């Protein structure tokens, strides 16, 4: 994302969309260079190691984006896969998907998630697996400590909410904000710290078949660099 813009950007601003327009190209390069790539947005919180969930005969795994703000289900027709949490095993099919995504985004700012799903549909034989209940977006969970304790999600996405102070308040309500203003004033700092802790545990980064390590990439949409 280097050079896309300068300073901080806000969600759905022109600068944000310019950053997102580069994601396909960046992922295409990463998948060509690494056998396994796990990409996560900076507002995605890892509460446990996600790698054990990446099972089955899949080319890629992605979080389900339920389009309804309330009352939606994971099986609703028209749901997208959300590349905000995306695991990819390198193959001719996944390289083709990432290259198609990059091409679709090449004209500049546009709807990043829509173009990703268009790229998925363009590659025949692709095995895209859905991450559902244990990987909820912000509209598919209740942000309380009780809900977290009962449902034990692996990964949660702090989206479907606007302002950064609202994100922080939500994390505090759910007991997921382990620092004060002196140690971190940004929700992405908390998310990245937890990801780094889990990713640093080498053996746990292996997939269940032990075939290789995952390359973990963390997006930072607030900063161009």
The vertex-184 CA angle with 162 and 145, nearest 5°, equals 65
Q: Is residue 118 one of the residues assigned to a domain?
A: yes
SS3 42: coil
Q: What are 18-63's pLDDT values in tens digits? A: 666 678 888 999 999 988 999 998 889 999 999 999 999 999 999 9
pLDDT digits (tens, 9 = 90+) for 136-175: 999 999 999 999 999 999 999 999 887 788 988 999 999 9
Q: For position 183, what pLDDT does the model report?
A: 59
Residue 66 lies in a domain: yes
Domains identified in the chain, total number:
1
Does a structural domain hold residue 38?
yes
Instruction: Compute how many other C-beta atoms are within 10 angstroms of the C-beta atom of residue 198.
Output: 16
Domain assignment of residue 169, yes or no: yes
Residue pair 139/66 in contact by the 8 Å Cβ criterion:
yes
For 92, the token pair is 């001719």
Distances, alpha carbon 41 to alpha carbons 163, 181, 187, 198, in Å: 16, 22, 11, 15
Check which CATH number belongs to the domain holding 209 and give it. Answer: 3.90.550
In a domain, 225, yes or no: no
pLDDT (tens digit per residue) in 92-132: 999 999 999 999 988 776 678 899 999 999 999 999 999 99
Show the DSSP H helices in the chain as ranges: 14-21, 23-33, 92-104, 112-121, 145-151, 164-173, 187-199
Q: Is residue 7 part of a domain?
A: no
């Amino acid at each position: 994302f280097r050079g896309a813009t300068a300073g901080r950007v806000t969600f759905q601003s022109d600068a944000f969309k310019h950053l997102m327009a580069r994601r396909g190209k960046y992922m295409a390069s990463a998948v060509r260079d690494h056998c396994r790539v796990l990409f996560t947005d900076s507002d995605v919180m890892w509460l446990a190691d996600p790698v054990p969930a990446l099972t089955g005969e899949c080319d890629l795994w992605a979080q389900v984006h339920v389009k309804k703000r309330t009352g939606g289900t994971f099986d609703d027709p028209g749901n997208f896969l959300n590349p905000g949490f995306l695991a990819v095993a390198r193959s001719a099919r996944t390289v083709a998907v990432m290259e198609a995504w990059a091409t679709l985004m090449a004209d500049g700012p546009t709807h990043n998630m829509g173009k990703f799903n268009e790229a998925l549909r363009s590659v025949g034989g692709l095995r895209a697996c859905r991450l559902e209940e244990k990987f909820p977006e912000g509209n598919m969970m209740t942000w309380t400590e009780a809900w977290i304790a009962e449902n034990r999600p692996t990964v949660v996405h702090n989206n479907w909410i606007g302002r950064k102070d609202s994100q922080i308040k939500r994390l505090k309500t759910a007991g997921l904000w382990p620092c004060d203003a002196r140690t971190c004033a940004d929700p992405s700092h908390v998310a990245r710290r937890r990801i780094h802790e889990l990713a640093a545990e080498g053996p746990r980064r292996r997939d269940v078949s032990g075939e290789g390590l995952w390359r973990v990439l963390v997006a930072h949409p607030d900063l161009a660099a």
